[in-house]
Every structure is written in structure tokens, then in C-alpha cells.
Amino acid sequence: AEAMLDGVYGHIDRLRSMVIGTVEPQHTALSDAALARIEGVARDLVTTIPWVGGAGFVAALDTVDREHRYWNWWMRSAEGVSRLHPPRNASASAEYAYESMQWFRDGQAGMPSVFGPFVDFAGVNQLVILCAQPVMERGVFLGVVGADLVIDRVEIHLVRILRKLEDVA
């Protein structure tokens, strides 16, 4: 079970390193071109680990050039892996205010977060746990990287592991 989570966090750490590597030495704004390079890592996480339903980077406000809010989140669906676009309210005029979410506020405080379980209606539409890590560079909060673990897939994998254990009773 520990190795299973280590695999997820290994990808999350790669994603965090990739975001930090996009920061220009003279400022902390992230360019669109630089952020395009992180897509492969997020897509790889969602594609290669069957219990991950979504993964990516959610930027601190006004950190990405020309964007107030920015997220680069990828999700698995029946059609494959695709980029998730932020949900809007019923009037389609307001963006999803992720900065008010606990997992994002934990990141702003420099703390990793395990959030949930909750129904991720905006992405994989399943019960998930979000594992998130803050992205900090030179003391500046750039955002959060993370992965949505789909509970029923995690459970299936853990049951398989537990069935292989010898009866110790």
C-alpha cells in the first residue's frame, strides 16, 4: 500500500519540479509556453496509474501571464485523458473560485494536503481523495500540484494486495 502511494507522490513531485523549472530567474510569473511542458507529466500520471482519475497544476492567482486564474488539470474518462476546464456557475459568468478551497489554502500555507473524500463533480464525477503539494519557489507560492485518487479503484487495488498477505492470525 505504501509503494502504491509512493508511486503517486513520485509523479506529483516530478510535476512540482517541472512547474518550478518553468519559473524565469528574474520573476515568478509563469508563461503559457513554459506551462505547456508540464502537461506531459500530468497526463502520464493519469494514464499510467489506474486509481488516479485526475492530476495537474492549479496556479496561485495572477501567477500565470495574462491569466487571473489558471489550472492545468487532466482527467481520465471513457474517451481517454483530456484537459479539464474549470467549472462555471449556472449563469456561466463566474469562474470556479478554487482559491477558497481548503486544499488550496493549505498549499498557500506551505502545507501538503489530503482532502476528501468528496464527489468530484467537476472532473471524474466519482468519490475521490485529493493529494496535493504546494509549489514554492524562492519563498513565493506558485500554486498546488496534485492527483485525485478514485476511491473505488484504490479499494480494488488494496484488496488485491491484502489478499496476497499470509494469514497471520
Per-residue pLDDT tens digits for 85-121: 766 555 555 667 899 999 999 999 999 999 999 987 6
- Element spanning 159, H or E: helix 151-164
Minimal CA–CA distance to 19: which of 47, 55, 53, 52?
55
What does the alpha-carbon distance between residue 71 and residue 67 come to, in Å, rounded to a whole number? 10
Per-residue pLDDT tens digits for 35-58: 777 888 899 999 999 999 999 999
What does the alpha-carbon distance between residue 151 and residue 40 come to, in Å, rounded to a whole number? 24
* Residue pair 117/151 in contact by the 8 Å Cβ criterion: yes
Confidence of residue 26 (pLDDT cuts 50, 70, 90): low
CA 37 → CA 22, 32, 76, 123, distances in Å? Answer: 8, 9, 19, 22
- Hey, what's the cell of 142? 506558485
